[in-house]
Amino acid sequence: MGNVTVIGAQWGDEGKGKVIDWLADRADVVVRFQGGNNAGHTIVVGNTEYRFSLLPSGVAQGKLSVIGNGVVVDPWSLMAEIARVRGQGLTITPEVLVLADTAALVLPLHRDLDAAREARAGAGKIGTTGRGIGPAYEDKVGRRAIRFCDLADETALEFKIERLLAHHQPLRHGLDLPEITADEILEQLREVAPQVAPFIQPAWRVLDAAQKANRQILFEGAQAVMLDVDHGTYPYVTSSNTVAGQAAAGAGVGPSAAGYVLGIVKAYTTRVGEGPFPSELHDETGEKLGQRGAEFGTVTGRKRRCGWFDAVLVRQSVAVSGVNGVVLTKLDVLDGFETLKICVGYRLGDEVLDYLPAGMREQAAVIPIYEEIEGWNGITHKARSWRDLPAAAVKYVRRIEELIGAQIALVTTSPEREDIIMMRDPFRG
């Protein structure tokens, strides 16, 4: 039995929360390793729906849950999220939740900057959530971030705030934002520090001890490969690395700890916000997919753009993230479609491409090449075994498997936790 790393292999919103929750039942530790509260997972347990943005999904089952150093954390949002799920009956204590001492904070000034820059960009906006994640990562790599370990040392904190403001004050002035003082930031941090302090630990030590004790670790990714800052549809991406390779750096473990890499994909494709989307549908079929799939963002509530399954995109994600197996989610949304289409290539001028090019204009210009496949009249909804699927649905799954170059390990057929067909056990590799 080994560790498992779960990532999205499209543009996010693939249903990672349900899959991670299902896997967490068999894991000992769950680790969030990148992103911030710009991502969200929805988990349904019985009649209760939990929405997580910063908390690792393992908290729903009382598993040791770690927010790694690769995450940028808004402490006020974190405490609000903890309060909300406690109100739903979950126990969140320092014995359950660990917050990496080297994780960087998202501050109110980051949210200000994020919103102001998007507003100023006009037609050139990239569709951020406005939660300050990008600016927080900028400060992290610029070596001026406030980290959770700094909250215990006010002298160091004062020095770091001054360094931070030396960068932000000119930006705020240029964007017509009001000036902010060091005392204001210090007071904000003094207020929140005692609330988060009980959870702060060297997360790498916790994970090192877990590995030495042969405990199974589930690494939980946010967003998806095509939103990766290096490998995604740049600049319409998030500000972190979302590929499986980030699990090691963002948690503080060696690369071999990532174990079996499980890529999550929908049986069709969706995207929130701006950016290229070759297989997007602007017709009744796209609307139907959105309505049947309840395609609204967990964090933002924004309507998701919908389109046919893009095998080219997923094959690329499989390659750059070292995916060992794939979870195909929301197969039941396709019940009743007479004909389905799968994107198997792109046309760019006179060329036919089997990959998504890196250039922004090229990505926007590619035209999908489709393969049509028979739909099914039977019902896959709530199916829990391969035998329960209509023959045409089996054919669809197998064709996707061929096109993306990876085995389908699991298929989900409803939002419910137990409605999963397992063809391969990720924990057994």
| Amino acid, single-letter form, for residue 260 | Y
262, 409 Cβ separation under 8 angstroms: yes
Instruction: Copy the structure tokens of residue 64.
Output: 């040791």
- How far from the centroid of its chain's Cα atoms is residue 55's Cα? 12
Gyration radius (Cα) of the chain, Å: 22
Residue with tokens 């979302």: 242
Burial of 409 (0-12, 13-18, 19+ CB in 10 A): buried
User: How would you label 127-155 residue by residue, b for 16+ Cβ within 10 Å and e otherwise?
Assistant: ebbbbbbbbbbebbeeebbbbbebbeeee
d(CA 74, CA 337): 43
Q: What is the largest CA-CA distance in the chain?
A: 68
Strand order of the β-sheet with 260-266 is: 200-201, 97-100, 64-67, 29-32, 217-220, 4-8, 260-266, 325-329, 407-412, 420-422
C-beta of residue 74 within 8 angstroms of C-beta of residue 80: no
Which is nearest to 18 in space by CA: 318, 412, 406?
412
**Could you list the active site residues?**
13, 41
Question: What is the number of H-type helices and E-type strands within the chain?
Answer: 12, 20
Q: In the chain, what are the helix, strand and coil shares in percent, each to the nearest 5?
A: 40, 20, 40
